[in-house]
Amino acid sequence: MNPMRLVGLGALVVSVSCRDAVGPERRPTDLEAAQQRWRAQNLHTYTFTLQRTCFCGNVHRLYVIVLRDTVAGVLDLDTASPVDRHLGQTVDDLFTFIQNAIDRPAHLIQAEYDAVKGFPTEIDYDGAAEIADDEISYHVSDVHPVAPPDGT
């Protein structure tokens, strides 16, 4: 191959591979786009149904009450009993879970998001292929805003 063509080809490869990952051509990831939709809802006090599937404690459907971005209460929908609020997560907690799994990186992290409100509707996670029983799935539904108790 002609040396000038080789240099030109090399310059082309370098210029294409060196695009700025955060520059104007960068498109938001599904996670980022979903977070933007979620933030646009401006929901800080809301309720939703959360169900975990895992080799862990309570895997019943949970009714999670979030008050000013903090889990305020959790009700087990199968037993109609209150449970430890640490079994619940906020939508932001779920986004953090997804981002941490991406950053780690986990063996598997897949998420689907509500097209309008942006919250994760399904999350499938497997931390490491060689570790048994570290898989967890989340199913989120029925996200609804509620008025704070004091009306603020």
* 118 part of a folded domain: yes
9 has a pLDDT exceeding 70: no
* 20 part of a folded domain: no
pLDDT at 26: 53
* 151 part of a folded domain: no
pLDDT at 7: 41
* 5 part of a folded domain: no
- Paired residues of 110 in beta bridges: 124
**Total of domains in the chain:** 1
Per-residue model confidence as pLDDT tens digits over 37-62: 999 999 999 999 999 988 777 788 99
* 50 part of a folded domain: yes
CA 120 to chain centre: 5
Helix (H) / strand (E) element for 91: namely helix 91-103
* 40 part of a folded domain: yes
* 2 part of a folded domain: no
Per-residue model confidence as pLDDT tens digits over 89-114: 999 999 999 999 999 999 999 999 99
Confidence of residue 131 (pLDDT cuts 50, 70, 90): confident
* 10 part of a folded domain: no
Residue 98 belongs to what domain range?
27-145
